[in-house]
Structures are given as C-alpha cells and as structure tokens.
Amino acid sequence: GAGVSQSPRYKVAKRGQDVALRCDPISGHVSLFWYQQALGQGPEFLTYFQNEAQLDKSGLPSDRFFAERPEGSVSTLKIQRTQQEDSAVYLCASSLASGPQETQYFGPGTRLLVL
C-alpha cells in the first residue's frame, strides 16, 4: 500500500514568509508525528497527534510553529514568519496505534530553505 507522503518535497522561502507543509499518513494510522532534522543531526521531535487530538507539542520551537490534523488524517505543519534557523528537513511519520513501542513509518520529508 501507499506509504507516508509529504508535499512539497522542497520549499524555498524568503525570511518572514509563512509556509505550510503537508503530510498524508498511511491510511488508518492513528498516530502522526512531526520531526525537524537539521543537517548532520537526528530527527528532533516537534509534535504528536493521536487521531485529531494534538497530545504533545512540547517540541515546537516557538509560537511561530503550528500543527493541525483536523479530521484525524492529513496533517499540516505551518511556520509563520520564517527565519533562517528554520531551514531543515521536516519529517512526518505515522504509526498504526499509539504508544512508544509502535513502529513509525516516515515520509520522504520536506526540505525547507529560508533565505
């Protein structure tokens, strides 16, 4: 079946612009995660949804970052007034059920470059 998809794959934004990154999880997956991966680093947790409920947003770096999953499927990560330090790859992952023992399946990521 189809895996996790993300769009766009690449995004160039001017500093101060707003961007929206989309994630389509595997159909039927309850949990959805967003990560930020800086160059040469591992994925850093941003936020977690169980169905439409955002249960953990402790990793969002500032109030410029906002995520939603209104119908418990597709999710959007929005970054307002982008800054150069926001440049990174943003990864989305989904898992069939909730819980840290569940395998997460990752999308290809969106590479964001803020100029």
Partner 1 sequence: AQSVAQPEDQVNVAEGNPLTVKCTYSVSGNPYLFWYVQYPNRGLQFLLKYITGDNLVKGSYGFEAEFNKSQTSFHLKKPSALVSDSALYFCAGGYQKVTFGIGTKLQVIP
Which is closer to partner 1, CB of 15 or CB of 97? 97
Q: Is 68 in the site for partner 1 (CB under 8 A)?
A: no
- For partner 1, which residue of 16, 18, 52, 56 counts as binding (CB under 8 A)? 56
- For partner 1, which residue of 42, 53, 63, 84 counts as binding (CB under 8 A)? 42
DSSP characters for 38-64? -TTS--EEEEEEETTEEEE-TT--STT
Stretch of 11-19, 63-71, 78-86, 100-108 lying at the interface with partner 1 (CB under 8 A): 100-108
